[in-house]
């Protein structure tokens, strides 16, 4: 939870303490951090550690980085990143701007700095209020040139932080992003392993991710009862999906490390800082932990600028493998280079990788350990792609269906008897309800909805039971006969007590399609979908339909939209759960546009842009009744700059087939 003590008085006490140190008092940041109010503010802890380190250097000391940082528990890695960057800054000041950092309370034009969120080697991150639009945004200021806005502006993904704008500001390279999370994976790993050899449950990770009421809520990715390893692999899978998506747009990250991954409440990973994507390499770019997570080919390019990195994805996969190893084991497979010389640190890291032979990850399941070993293969061509990594990890973190002993015995007997297992062809001249259902299913598979509907109607008449009636309702849904489909779904539930998730979902989806102007019907749809999600919490269709039902649920007498803001939780789960289409992107845009506050307006614009890229007509997007009154002139100009994609066939996510359950 966020501390309840206002930050300003605590920050003022810290500033007074720093002034006393500069006046001659012996600096001791670790003692100051004993104050629980200070300890609760990570940025203040980092400030104090940095100030002590600089003062001790100025006094002629040369503090050992490892011993110095070890005094600060779960923040030791972040502090080390800052101090390593400080040493580079003092050795190469020519590559950096010397503009003073802003303070909380400062106003730069239309931006008012309200909170200090974090800092790294050459960058600081603030929460600022854009007074021109009344929207809080995250502002990253960097002392070195950045291509992050250019890179991130080309992708849109639920696990990649959007870029609202990127420009030079007061001598800094500035990137504005929605406020999505406050904890980095670096902080989460350190907190998870604090005081234990290995966490047992993922609740440590969830607690470390924290909660901030200013951050938009998402459905939790993890369960507090989930095992730690299972939770880590679920998070890693989402991260791999984001990197695979970026790669499909021709973009590699170039600087993967735990400080460049945010962990939102509930465990959602969010990629940031594509700062080295497509950028040239040199030793001056080696900052804040980059060496520790760099691939052999990237380190070689740092040592010899004339040598290209090669395949950027393969290099990122290596870094991903190191991150996954650290999440699973609590440490990297290499010891950090104990030297203050940047080039020597790179050389030692390169030598360590050349001599490294991947071994099983201590305590990790064999499949996960094998994946890490594949990612850390020395030859770039021998590593998997991120698409392959994501597919491998997709099996983790979700409940697995059990294969019953009876089914296993039946399968074994069939094999021993030489029986060929094959899909039975539907009869040409069906007579029973089962045969009509089988032929109707075949018709559906070949796109013959009308013929399938006739067969399902006959099956329901021959055998008026719950499944047959609900299957008929499904076919009616596909034929856009929503009123009749709704009635048949209700019959299956109320008359035949068939309350399976697919039946409840399809009933609710037809209510939304036929009666979205009725708040009472929408409230009923939400209740049906709540029940369905209790039984099938990972269903994209159910989340989608509940998002739309909540969206339509609250309308007042003058027909003004007042959507239930929880619809954003569901649409976020949908966008994170699989393929994103033009129709889904447009739905996400109008839902975010309808709910005021926070980063919602920015997300609406980015999903609108994604809808255009995927083929929705630009004019239809800009003039959509749920968007046109929410878009600013700048938003419209931005949407006009998006390349118009080619329309493709969209998948209707609303319905769940009875043959898939």
For residues 468-492, b (16+ Cβ closer than 10 Å) or e, as one string?
A: bbbbbbbbbbbeebbeebbbbbbbb
Angle at 374 between CA 373 and CA 375, to 5 degrees: 90
Contacts of residue 456, defined as CB under 8 A and 6 or more positions apart, other chains included, come to 436, 437, 440, 468, 471, 472, 474, 475
Q: What is the largest CA-CA distance in the chain?
A: 98
Give 448-455 contacts, CB < 8 A, sequence gap 24+: 449/475, 449/478, 449/479, 450/479, 453/478, 453/479, 455/430
For residues 87-110, b (16+ Cβ closer than 10 Å) or e, as one string?
A: bbbeeeeeebbeeeebebeeeeee
φ, ψ at 111 (rounded to 5°)? -110, 125
DSSP H or E run through 136: strand 135-142
The rounded distance, in Å, linking the Cα atoms of 483 and 387 is 42
375 in Cβ contact with 389 (< 8 Å): yes
Q: What's the number of CA atoms in the CB half-sphere (13 Å) around residue 295? A: 29
Residue 140 annotated as lining a ligand binding site = yes
503 in Cβ contact with 481 (< 8 Å): no
Helix then strand then coil, % of the chain, to nearest 5: 50, 10, 40
The tokens of 647 are what?
Answer: 């329309």
Distance of CA 576 to CAs 149, 324, 570, Å? 22, 20, 10
256 in Cβ contact with 293 (< 8 Å): yes
The tokens of 625 are what?
Answer: 């009744």
263 in Cβ contact with 222 (< 8 Å): no
* Helix (H), strand (E) counts: the chain: 29, 9
Please tell me what DSSP assigns to residue 98: -
440 in Cβ contact with 433 (< 8 Å): no
The rounded distance, in Å, linking the Cα atoms of 613 and 639 is 10
The CA dihedral of 222, 227, 228, 233, to the nearest 10 degrees, is -60
Burial class (CB in 10 A: 0-12, 13-18, 19+), 266: middle
Q: What's the number of CA atoms in the CB half-sphere (13 Å) around residue 194? A: 19
Nearest to 436 by CA among 420, 460, 412: 460
- Mark the binding-site residues for ATP, compressed into ranges: 140
- Mark the binding-site residues, compressed into ranges: 140
């Amino acid at each position: 939870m966020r501390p309840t003590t206002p930050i300003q008085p605590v920050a003022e006490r810290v500033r007074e303490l720093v002034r006393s140190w500069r006046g001659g008092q012996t600096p001791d940041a670790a003692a100051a951090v004993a104050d629980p109010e200070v300890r609760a503010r990570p940025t203040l802890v980092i400030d104090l550690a940095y100030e002590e380190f600089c003062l001790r250097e100025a006094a002629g000391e040369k503090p050992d980085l490892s011993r110095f940082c070890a005094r600060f528990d779960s923040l030791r890695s972040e502090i080390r990143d800052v101090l390593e960057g400080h040493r580079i800054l003092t050795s190469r000041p020519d590559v950096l701007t010397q503009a003073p950092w802003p303070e909380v309370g400062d106003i730069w034009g239309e931006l008012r700095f309200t909170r200090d969120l974090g800092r790294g080697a050459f960058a600081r991150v603030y929460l600022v209020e854009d007074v021109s639009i009344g929207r809080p945004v995250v502002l990253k200021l960097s002392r070195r040139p950045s291509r992050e806005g250019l890179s991130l502006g080309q992708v849109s993904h639920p696990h990649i932080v959007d870029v609202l704008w990127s420009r030079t500001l007061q001598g800094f390279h500035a990137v504005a992003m929605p406020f999505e999370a406050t904890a980095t994976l670096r902080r989460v790993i350190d907190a998870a392993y604090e005081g234990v050899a290995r966490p047992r449950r993922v609740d440590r990770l969830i607690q470390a991710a924290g909660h901030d009421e200013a951050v938009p809520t998402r459905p939790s990715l993890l369960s507090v009862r989930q095992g730690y390893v299972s939770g880590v692999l679920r998070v890693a899978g989402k991260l791999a999906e984001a990197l695979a998506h970026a790669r499909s747009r021709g973009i590699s990250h170039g600087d993967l490390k735990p400080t460049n991954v945010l962990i939102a409440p509930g465990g959602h990973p969010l990629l940031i800082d594509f700062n080295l994507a497509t950028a040239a390499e040199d030793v001056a770019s080696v900052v804040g932990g980059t060496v520790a997570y760099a691939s052999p080919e990237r380190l070689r390019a740092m040592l010899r600028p004339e040598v290209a990195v090669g395949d950027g994805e393969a290099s990122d996969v290596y870094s991903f493998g190191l991150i996954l190893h650290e999440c699973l084991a609590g440490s990297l497979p290499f010891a950090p280079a104990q030297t203050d010389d940047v080039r020597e640190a790179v050389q030692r890291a390169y030598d360590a990788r050349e001599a490294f032979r991947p071994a099983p990850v201590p305590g990790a399941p064999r499949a996960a350990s094998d994946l890490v070993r594949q990612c850390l293969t020395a030859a770039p061509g021998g590593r998997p792609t991120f698409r392959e990594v994501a597919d491998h990890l997709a099996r983790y973190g979700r409940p697995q269906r059990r294969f019953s002993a009876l089914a296993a015995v039946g399968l074994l007997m069939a094999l021993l008897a030489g029986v060929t297992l094959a899909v039975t062809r539907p009869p040409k001249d069906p007579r029973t309800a089962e045969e009509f259902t089988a032929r109707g299913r075949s018709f559906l598979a070949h796109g013959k909805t009308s013929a399938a509907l006739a067969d399902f109607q006959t099956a329901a008449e021959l055998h008026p039971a719950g499944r047959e009636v609900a299957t008929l309702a499904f076919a009616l849904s596909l034929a856009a006969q929503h009123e009749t489909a709704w009635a048949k779904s209700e019959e299956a539930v109320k008359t035949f007590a068939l309350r399976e998730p697919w039946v409840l979902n399809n009933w609710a989806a037809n209510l939304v399609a036929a009666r979205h102007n009725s708040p009472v019907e929408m409230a009923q749809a939400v209740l049906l979908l709540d029940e369905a999600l209790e039984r099938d919490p990972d269903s994209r269709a159910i989340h989608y339909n509940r998002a739309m039902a909540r969206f339509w649920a609250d309308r007042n007498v003058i027909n003004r939209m007042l959507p239930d803001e929880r619809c954003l939780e569901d649409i976020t789960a949908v966008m994170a759960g699989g393929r994103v289409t033009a129709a889904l992107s447009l739905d996400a845009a109008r839902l975010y546009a309808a709910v005021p506050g926070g980063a919602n307006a920015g997300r609406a614009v980015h999903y609108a842009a994604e809808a255009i890229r995927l083929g929705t007509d630009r004019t239809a997007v800009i003039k959509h009744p749920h968007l046109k009154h929410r878009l600013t002139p700048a938003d419209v100009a931005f949407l006009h700059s998006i390349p118009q994609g080619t329309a493709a066939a969209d998948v209707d996510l609303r319905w769940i087939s009875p043959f898939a359950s």
